[in-house]
Structure 1
Amino acid sequence: MELHVVINGRKDLAEQLYQQLRSAMESGRLAAGSQLPPSRLLAEQLGISRKTVSDTYTLLTYEGYLVGKIGRGTFVSPRPIKAAHKQEAQDLACAQSLARWQAIPSPLRHPSLEGTLRYEFIGGATTRAQFPAEQWRRCTQDALRRLSQAGSFYSQPEGLPVLRHAIAGHVAFSRGVVCTDQDIVVCNGAQQALDLIARVILEPGSLVAMEDPGYTPARLLFQAQGAQVLGIPVDDEGIEVARIPDGVRLIYVTPSHQFPLGMPMSEARRKALLERARELGAIVIEDDYDSEFRYEGRPADSLQSLDSLGVVAYVGTFSKTILPQLRLGYAVLPPAILAAVTKAKQLSDCHTATLSQWALAKFIDEGYLQKHIRRCHTVYAGRRERILQRLQGDLAPWLEAVPCTAGFHLAALCKVPVDIPLLLDLAKKVEVGLYSLHEFFHDHPVRAGLFIGFGAIETLDIDPALDKVRDILRQIT
């Protein structure tokens, strides 16, 4: 290896070398286990005598910084790094801002591989067993070939034209979205789409209305940008539009599959929401995160398809349909905010990785996406049905499912008083990951219950897991 050592003049050569090597080891620049160059080689590189280097190595070995291994060489000893004093958060001028960011919770944060429980009911996660690895590999190989033929330039912030075209066709077919390729901005997941839209619309103190209960990461994002978020209650038809106050400039809703309760927004309520947005001059974000999976009734068209005024920003994701780790999403934007969001995307990260964009475009064009959705639909429908059977059966004394027709999570409300934190804690001890509805409420009274995702748990694991939940409920109620 090469060392960054500078010898100045011809005086105190051994001292200069000693101090620089010791400093590098104490600071961690020379990590424990690193091999130093042979004394002859280092002496030649520095233009000093081999004896000077050998004597320095000997002294550092005596002090415990180095260790010699016969036949192998000289290595840095494992020893604590002497860290220099560095500024702490409270010492900085931005301490108040840092404290505010550090205080933001991390709802719905998925566990690490090491922290995953045997039976996991977390929402937003898909089953790896259904991931079409071979088809995705072929699409990625094609993407690599395309990249090798492309110039060494940054790509367009709004996304590759071929992917925007594929997305336009997909959302028109599956969700009735009315758009052209030029209306679409490709993002790193739906969360970035929400962030970009909020950046160009909100200012400190701006009013945002969103469903309560609702998608907590969206609320936290809006608040982090200085907005005042107002929780608007929901009923069986969706958000109560009449309770959206004057002054609101952004409205966030999940009309196809209300998050987290699950009911769809009625057509009358959708029309009322669009009219209220027109009155306010507000933009409506329609987060359509998992409505490709519908199990009952005729698929409802998107809210965007009813929008003749250009007030709806439709946000979608492939994290729920393919795999969360891919971090691919998009926004279909009304003309009024399209240019501003595109500029915000360019300033934020230039563009989403083109390798994954090329791969996804081919994945859609080859029909792999629709095949994958149909395959997952069958799997998720079976899991959903089994959970509903258990909620209507031996779990019925404690829990009642909220009616929903789409997605791969459902909500179950408590019919009797249940200590939910205790239930979650005891379930975790028997390797069952359960999640409360509590964290999704903001301004309005909490309705006790469970948020049950069935994307990640295998079908054969549902009954053993719910058996454990039933046994715990018997113990604590």
Structure 2
Amino acid sequence: MELHVVIEGGKDLTGQLVRQLGDAIRAGRLATGEKLPPSRLLAEQLGLSRKTVSEAYARLTWDKLLTGKVGSGTFVADGVQRAQAVPAGRALAGAAVAARWRDMPTPLRHPAPAGSARYEYIGGAPDRQLYPHADWRRCVTQALRQGARSRGLYGDAEGLRELRDAIARHAAFARGVRCSALDVVVTNGAQQALDLVARVLVEPGCTVAVEEPGYPPARHLFSAQGARVVGVPVDSEGIVVDDIPDGTRLIYVTPAHQFPLGMPMSVARREALLARAQALGAIVIEDDYDSEFRYEGRPTDSLQSMDRHGNVAFVGTFSKTLSPELRMGYLIAAPAVREAVATAKHLTDWHSPVPAQWALAKFIEEGGLQKHIRRCHARYAERRARLMQRFANDLAPWFELVPAAAGFHMAALCRRPIDLGVLITLARRVDVGLYRLDGFYASSPPQAGLLMGYGAIDAADIDPSLDRVRDVLIQMR
């Protein structure tokens, strides 16, 4: 790779080189410690004499911008005073739009100190220690071999056919979803699936209904598309269908494991929701983010499998079963928007990374995903049972767990007034990470409580960590 320097004409060649290299160093385009090309090589690249380049290097060394190391070369010196960035002009035509995006909330990004305590109850984080490194490494190796035999062209926007086949079979097996590979669009996580549906249905001023409380990134995504986002309350059976306003175009729900409270949507409520969507001509997004982990009771049908009118878009993710770092999800699109979603996917990022798709297809096909889910299920079930026992005993005076039969988080609602801000601060001082429910409410007074994620904490750590929480609560009392 050549160093970017532009030499004009034939005058003051050394001065031109000194000015350009000096500007690049002061602006930070050449970082501290960056090695510059040898004088002979740079002279050949620029069509200059080696003497000209050597003189420029010498002057920059005299100015303490470069430093020479015998036997190693010439490097950008330490301690260079960097030039201040030029502020953006106030006359930017799109300043209002940029400001709206800049000020858009970005919840659940897990910023520090989130996730940094010794005992972590952060939600949405699977156990990294359970990740199937050996099996995944083998599948990645096979994917690279497969890629070496390919033509090196762009892939299908909808995703690799082999992965779409594997996803269709997995969704049918695990959730009873009715689909074929032609219905599947591979996405960069569930969030892109939500974005694609919003892109093809939402326009400024239209109404989108979301659960209240609910998943903040979905709410803010729809708002960013210009929608009027209406929070619809949930009760013990799920979203209150009668409160979905007329004119709603898109309805976002988490029926298998309501986020963040955890209860499943009842069958009667599911039927009512599907009937309401049909009457409105609305699409329902069914976000099925972690229902693979079920601990008790009979499995319930997915909304998509109950749908007889093509109103449900089913969204799944591998962030909870495998790892958020993979950024792999999928959308089983409603028939009415299938082609539009494929076009939107093509125009936004063309397609998801093909090597990762090959690896995941192989991993699912060989049974690695089901084996991994079974392994995680056993560990999460143990942690869930321990949490339920503690909250039913010594923590019962302060909190009540909302019944949840799936996933790897539960909501703990306050039985009595507790200053949760103080509790969270004091708990972090004793190395316990706790997180409140307030941020999941947008349009109604929040229920006081905690989101207790148990994917990132070992079963052996639950008792000592909750002992510390109990002691803090006693001190606060």
Please give the range of the TM-score, normalised by the shorter of the 2 chains.
over 0.9
- Which residue of structure 1 lines up, in the alignment, with residue 437 of structure 2? 437
Distance 1:79 1:280, change over 3 A: same
Q: Are 1:207 and 1:227, in contact at CA under 8 Å, matched by a contact in 2? A: yes
Q: Which amino acid aligns with 2:344?
A: A
Distance 1:100 1:378, change over 3 A: same
Residue 283 of structure 1: CA displacement?
0.6
Q: Are 1:28 and 1:81, in contact at CA under 8 Å, matched by a contact in 2? A: no
Residue 76 of structure 1: CA displacement?
2.3
TM-score by length of 2: 0.95
- Which residue of structure 1 lines up, in the alignment, with residue 184 of structure 2? 184
Post-superposition Cα deviations, 1:278-311, rounded to whole Å, max 9, x if no partner, equal 1111011111111111111111110111100110
Q: How does 1:141-290 map to 2 (within 5 A)?
A: 141-290=141-290
Q: Are 2:120 and 2:432, in contact at CA under 8 Å, matched by a contact in 1? A: yes
2:120 corresponds to 1:120: yes
CA distance in 2, matches of 1:231, 1:453: 24
Distance 1:82 1:251, change over 3 A: same
Aligned-residue CA RMSD (Å):
2.1
Q: How does 1:59-458 map to 2 (within 5 A)?
A: 59-83=59-83, 85-88=85-88, 90-111=90-111, 116-458=116-458
Residue 113 of structure 1: CA displacement?
9.8
CA distance in 1, matches of 2:202, 2:279: 18
Q: List gaps (5 residues or longer) in structure 2.
A: none
Residue 52 of structure 1: CA displacement?
4.7
State the identity %.
61
Q: Are 1:313 and 1:333, in contact at CA under 8 Å, matched by a contact in 2? A: yes
CA distance in 1, matches of 2:89, 2:116: 32
CA distance in 2, matches of 1:439, 1:396: 24
Post-superposition Cα deviations, 1:315-360, rounded to whole Å, max 9, x if no partner, equal 1111111111111111112211111111111111101111111111
Q: Are 2:117 and 2:432, in contact at CA under 8 Å, matched by a contact in 1? A: yes
Q: Which amino acid aligns with 1:399?
A: F
TM-score by length of 1: 0.95
Residue 416 of structure 1: CA displacement?
0.5
Post-superposition Cα deviations, 1:349-394, rounded to whole Å, max 9, x if no partner, equal 1011111111111111111111111111110000000011110111
SS at match of 2:83: coil
CA distance in 1, matches of 2:88, 2:53: 39
CA distance in 1, matches of 2:144, 2:43: 45
Distance 1:446 1:139, change over 3 A: same
Distance 1:272 1:17, change over 3 A: closer
Residue 464 of structure 1: CA displacement?
1.5
SS at match of 2:310: coil
Residue 38 of structure 1: CA displacement?
4.9
SS at match of 2:249: strand
Q: Which amino acid aligns with 1:156?
A: D
Q: Are 1:18 and 1:60, in contact at CA under 8 Å, matched by a contact in 2? A: yes
Residue 14 of structure 1: CA displacement?
3.4
SS at match of 1:185: strand
Residue 66 of structure 1: CA displacement?
2.4
Q: Are 2:115 and 2:433, in contact at CA under 8 Å, matched by a contact in 1? A: no
Residue 10 of structure 1: CA displacement?
4.5
Post-superposition Cα deviations, 1:145-191, rounded to whole Å, max 9, x if no partner, equal 11111112111111111111111111111111111111111111111
